[in-house]
Amino acid sequence: MNISEISNLLADKLVNVQKEAVVNAKDSLLPVLWAIGGGKGGTGKSFISSSIAVELARQGKKVILADFDFGAPNLHTFLGLGLPRKSIEDFIAKKNSLEEIILPTKIEGLSLIAGDVRTFTPKGFKYAQKNRFINNLKNSNCDIVVTDLGAGSMLSSLDIFSQADKKIVVVTPEPTSIENMYQYVKKGLLRSIEKYLSEKNFLSLVETEFKKQKVGYRTGFKDRLDRLKRISPIIERYVDKSLDNYKIHIAVNQIEEEIQTQTGLHIKNILKNYLCIDVVSTKHLKRIPRFWTDPSMNAEKRASLINIESWVKSILEGKIG
C-alpha cells in the first residue's frame, strides 16, 4: 500500500468518525426509551411502569408514560385519573397528533399517553403504525419515555422492547412467570437479530446455511448462535452487536418469602448460560397488600414504599449492580 492509498484510507476513516459523532450528538438530544415487558399478565408491569415513571419525574426528569397494553390498559387508574378523553387509538387512527394525545397528570414532570379504553376489539399496532409512533416519540419534548408493553409477545411489543435504550423485564417467583419471561426475552433477542440481518439482506443466506447444517427445532439456542456466527464474519459482527445491545434489567415482583430473594440471581444465570444475555441489574420487590386496600394510597406513595429510588438512579446512570 503506497502513501496515497494510506492517505485515502485515513481520510475515509476520518469521515466515518465524523459522521458517527454527528449521529451520536443527535441521539444524545433525543428522549431515552425505557421499555417494561415480560410476557405474562398479572406480574405487576403496570404497577412497576407507573412507579418508575413517578420516580424519574421525582428525580427531575421530564417523563412521558405510554400505555401500550392494548388488552387491558389501566395506567390512567394507577395515576389517579379518570377515563382518558384521548388515547393512543386516536393517534393510530390519525385523528390526533402525538402532542394532542399527551395528557397531563397530577405529578409534576409526568405526562401520560393513555391506552385505548373505548375500542371493543383492540388490535394493537400494525408495523407501519408502530414505526410512525416510535419515530414521533423519539422527537417528543421530554427526557424519557417509559412504555408499559402489557402481556403477550406480539411483534409490535417485541420490536419496541428490542429497540428500547433501557429494557426492564418484570417477573414473579412463580415457575410459570419465569418460563414466560424466558420465552419473551428469547423471542425479543431473535427479533433483534433478525432486524439487523434483514437490513443487510442476510436472512435468505442464514436460512440456506441452516438447512445445509440441518439446524432443527431441537438445536440449542447457543448452538444456533454459534452456527450463525460461523456463516460469515459480517454476520458474526451483527449477532454480537445484537447481543451487546440487548442488556436487560430484572424486577422480581411480589416477593413474600426470604428464599425468593434469590430469584433474580437464578434468572441472571439462566439468561447468561442459555441465551448469552447479560442482566445488568436485579431488583426484588416485596408484596404489600395495603397498596390496594388503603384509600389514601396514590402513585407517589406506592413508588416511595417499594424503595426503587437507588435502583432507578443506577439504571439512569448506566451503572451495573
Amino acid (one-letter) located at 70: F
Model pLDDT, residue 1? 47
Count CB neighbours of 280 within 10 A: 18
The span from the CA of 315 to the CA of 165, in Å, is 10
Instruction: Compute the C-alpha angle 30/34/36, nearest 5°.
Output: 160
pTM of the model: 0.83
DSSP assigned state of 152: S
Identify whether the C-beta of residue 286 lies closer than 8 Å to the C-beta of residue 255: yes
Running DSSP on this structure, what letter comes out for residue 150?
-
Residue 168: the pLDDT is 96
What pLDDT, on a 0 to 100 scale, did the predictor assign at position 50? 93
**What does the pLDDT read at residue 34?**
96
Domain ranges of the chain: 1-25, 31-316
The one-letter amino acid code at 98 reads L
- In this prediction, residue 215 carries a pLDDT of 55
Beta bridge partners of 284: 252
Q: Are strands 279-286 and 248-255 parallel, antiparallel or unpaired?
A: parallel
Question: Is CATH 3.40.50.300 the classification given to domain 31-316?
Answer: yes
pLDDT, residue 6, reads 42
Q: Report the pLDDT value the prediction gives residue 59, as an integer from 0 to 100.
A: 94
H helical segments located in 29-78? 45-58, 75-78
- How far, in Å, CA of 156 to CA of 98, rounded? 18
Mind listing the pLDDT tens digit of every residue in the chain (321 residues)?
444 444 444 455 454 444 444 344 344 567 999 999 987 888 989 999 999 999 999 999 999 999 988 777 889 988 989 888 898 888 888 899 999 999 999 999 999 999 887 765 556 677 788 888 888 888 888 999 999 997 777 888 888 898 899 999 999 999 999 999 999 999 899 888 888 788 777 877 777 766 666 655 556 778 888 888 888 888 888 888 888 989 999 999 988 888 898 999 999 999 999 899 999 999 999 887 766 667 677 788 778 778 899 999 999 988 765
What 8-state DSSP symbol labels residue 306? Answer: T
Place of cell 433501557: 166
Q: What is the pLDDT of residue 120?
A: 58
pLDDT at 69: 82
Closest CA to 317 of 291, 285, 280, 283: 280
The Cα–Cα gap between 278 and 268 comes to: 7
Full strand arrangement of the beta sheet holding 248-255: 102-104, 110-113, 63-67, 144-148, 32-37, 166-171, 248-255, 279-286
